[in-house]
Amino acid sequence: MITSRFEELVTTTAFKKGIPNLRIVYTPHPITDRPAELCREYVAGNDPNTDKPMLEEIYSGLTRPVSAVDAKAGFLERDLRPRLFPPDTPENLMEFFHSRGYTDGNPIILPTEEKVREMLGATSHDPEEWVGQMRPSPPHEAWYYTVEMVAVNAVMAGAKPEYFPVILAIASKGVTSMFSSTSSFARMVVVNGPVVNEIGMNTGIGALGPVNRANSSIGRCWTLISRNLGGSGKPGETYLGSQGNQLNYNNICFPENEEGLPAGWEPLHVQKGFDKSESVVSIFSGWSMNDIAWYSPLPQHEVIRGWLEHFFSFGTTQATLILDPIVAADVASNGYATKTAFTKYLAKNTGTPGWLYWSEHRDNLKKAQEGVEPFAGWLERGEDTVVPESRYTGKRMGNSSLLATFGNNDESITAIHVVVTGGGTNTFWSGGDFGYVGSTSVDFWR
Amino acid sequence: MAPRPSTLDGKTVYIVDTKYPNTKPFVNELYAALKTEYPETTWVLKEKYGGYMDDDPKLWKEIKENAAGAIVLVGH
C-alpha cells in the first residue's frame, strides 16, 4: 500500500524490480499527521486511484489467481546510450541535450571528442576504467560509470581539465547530489590540500558564491554526473523532492581556507585521517544553511551556541558550521584551541527547545507526566522551556532516526562539524543541518 | 508473483508497518478494519526493522514460513 501521489514511482519501481504487475492499493495522500478518525474514513472508503473499496481491493489482491501476465518477471532491459551522437549544429545539439534531460536547464559546453580527450589528459587513469556506482536512493538500481563518462560531464559543466581529478574523486564516492527523497536533500563538498591552490579554487572573499570557475563548475559537474551517470533527477520517478532544492545546482562546493585556520585548528581532511600534504574531497549531506552575523556584546562562540540550541530544520540532530576566518579566530581566542574543543563545547552546552524535545520523546513526556525525574523537573519548567539535553551528541532522536541513515556520526565525537572559509570582510558564518558522509583522495585520480 | 490462496479464511496475513513518521494512526485503523471485516483471517501487525529503507530479511523469512500473504505499507 502506498499513498496515491506515488503511483508513477511505485509502478516504475515494481517494473524495475521485475514485478511489473505487483498488486498495489492506494490510500489518499498524505496520511502522515492525519488523525485516527480521518484514517478510519480513508480505510472505509475507496482507493482514490481506482475508485474501488479499499478493503475489498486488498482482499482481492491477496486472493485473485495469478495470471500468466502477473507471473511474468525478469530483468529490465535498457537501450544502450550511444557513445557518439550524429553531427548537427551547436544550437540543435544544445536543444537535443536539454530535451533528453542531460542538463540542469542551463547551457552546457558540448562534449565533443576533442574536448573530452583534452579532459582525459588530466588523469593517468584509463578512459574505460570503472570509477564507481551511484543510485538515486537505496531502493533504486545502481548505475556504473567510467572515467570517460565522467569526463563527458566535466566538459559539459564547464570544468577545466586540471579540475578533473577532483571531479573523479567526487564521482568515486558514489553519492548522488540529487538524493531521491520527498525532503529535497542538498549536498556539500569541501576540498582540502594542495590541489586547492593548484587549480585556483577560491578560499577568500565570496568562496561560497558564484565568482570562481573551479568552485562553480566542479560543484555543477556533480549534479550532471548524478543525472546522467547516476540515474537521478527525473521528477516523480528518480527525484521526489517536493519543492526541490536550489543548492542542487552546484552543491555548496568550496575549499577550506587552510591559511585562515587559527593555530592548532586542523584542516578538515587532517581531522579525517589524511596527511596535510594530501588533496582530499569531503562530502556532506543535509538540507539547508543559515547565513549569519550577529552584532552583540556576546563572543562568537556564545552566539553560535545560542543559534544551535534553537536551530530547526528537517535535520535536527546534526550540524555543520562554516566559519569565516575572523569568526574562527574569535572562537579560538576564547579558549577553543582545536575544532574538536569547540564542537565538544557546543554539544555539551546546547539544550533542546521544549516543544521539539517533548514532541520527539513521547516516552519521556509520559514519564514526566508520571513524575519520573529528571523529566518531571524539566516539564515543570514549562513545555516550551529549553530541556538541558543536547541534540548534537551523535545519538538518534525520536522519529528522526531515519535521518541518521544518510550519513554522519560514524566517527565524530559530536554530530557537529566545523569548516573555515571566506575572506574576512565580516564576522559572518553559515550554519546548517549538514552531516558528514565521507572523504576520499584526489591524488589517486591524478 | 507468488500463487494466491482462493480464500483467506483460516489463513494468516501479516501487515508490515514500514514506520514512516506519524503514519501509525492509519496503520492501526487498517489493522482494526481488516480484523472486523475478515474475522476468519488471523491478521498479524508487525513493525519492520530499522527505517523504511532498511531491508528486513528475518521478517520476510518469518512471513514466508507463517503466512499466506502480506500487506506492506506505507508512506507519506
The C-alpha cell 540542469 sits at A104
Domain-embedded: residue A346: yes
Q: Is A80 on the interface with B (CB under 8 A)?
A: no
Instruction: Write the pLDDT tens digit of every residue in B10-45.
Output: 999 999 999 988 899 999 999 999 999 999 999 999
Tell me which of B23, B72, B76 to substitute to probe the interface with A (most A C-beta atoms closer than 10 Å). B76
Query: What SS3 class is residue A171?
Result: helix
pLDDT confidence of residue B56: 94
Structural domain including A355 reads 289-445
Through-space distance between the first and last CA atoms of chain A, rounded to whole angstroms: 49
Task: Give the start-end residues of each E strand in A324-428.
Answer: 416-420
Domain-embedded: residue A55: yes
Q: Which amino acid is at A296?
A: S
Total structural domains within chain A:
3
Handedness of CA A121, A123, A126, A129 (dihedral sign): negative
User: Chain A, 364-383: which have a CB under 8 Å from a chain B CB?
Assistant: none
The number of helix segments (H) and strand segments (E) in chain A equals 17, 12
Q: How far is B28 from chain A (nearest CA, A)?
A: 8
Q: d(Cα A192, Cα A281) in Å, to the nearest integer?
A: 6
> Does A61 share its domain with A30?
yes
Domain-embedded: residue A144: yes
pLDDT confidence of residue A131: 98
Domain's final residue, options A43, A71, A99: A71
Query: Which residue on chain A is closest to B70 by alpha carbon?
Result: A62
Query: Which residue on chain B is closest to A71 by alpha carbon?
Result: B1
Q: d(Cα A426, Cα A240) in Å, to the nearest integer?
A: 37
Q: d(Cα A104, Cα A248) in Å, to the nearest integer?
A: 9
Nearest Cα to Cα of residue A36 among B75, B34, B26: B26
Contact A200, A212 (CB under 8 A): yes
Q: d(Cα A112, Cα B2) in Å, to the nearest integer?
A: 50
> Does A99 share its domain with A24?
no
The C-alpha cell 554530530 sits at A415
Beta carbons of B5 and A63 less than 8 Å apart: yes
Closest Cβ opposite residue B74 in set A1, A55, A137:
A1
Domain-embedded: residue A20: yes
pLDDT confidence of residue B76: 85
Domain-embedded: residue A120: yes
pLDDT confidence of residue A398: 43
Q: d(Cα A80, Cα A76) in Å, to the nearest integer?
A: 12
> Does A248 share its domain with A312?
no
Query: What SS3 class is residue A153?
Result: helix
pLDDT confidence of residue A333: 97
Instruction: Write the pLDDT tens digit of every residue in A328-341.
Output: 999 999 999 999 99
Q: d(Cα B37, Cα A388) in Å, to the nearest integer?
A: 48
Q: Residue ranges of chain A with pLDDT lower than 70? A: 395-413
ipTM of the complex: 0.96
pLDDT confidence of residue A413: 61
The Cα angle at residue A85 between residues A79 and A89, in degrees rounded to 5 = 145
Tell me the three cell numbers of residue A2.
502506498
Helices within chain B (DSSP H only) = 24-37, 57-66
DSSP A283-314: EEEES-EEEE---SSS-HHHHHHHHHHH--SS
Instruction: Write the pLDDT tens digit of every residue in A430-445.
Output: 999 999 999 999 999 9
User: CB count, 10 Å around CB of B42?
Assistant: 16
> Does A22 share its domain with A114?
no
Q: How much is the CA Rg of chain A, to the nearest whole Å?
A: 25
What is the overall mean pLDDT for chain A? 92
pLDDT confidence of residue A73: 74
Domain-embedded: residue A85: no
Q: In this prediction, what percent of chain B has a pLDDT beyond 90?
A: 79
Q: Is A59 on the interface with B (CB under 8 A)?
A: yes
What residue ranges do the domains of chain B occupy?
A: 12-73
Q: How far is A328 from chain B (nearest CA, A)?
A: 37
Q: In this prediction, what percent of chain A has a pLDDT beyond 70?
A: 95
Q: Which residues contact A103 (CB under 8 A, 6 or more apart)?
A: A97, A156, A224
Beta carbons of B71 and A1 less than 8 Å apart: yes
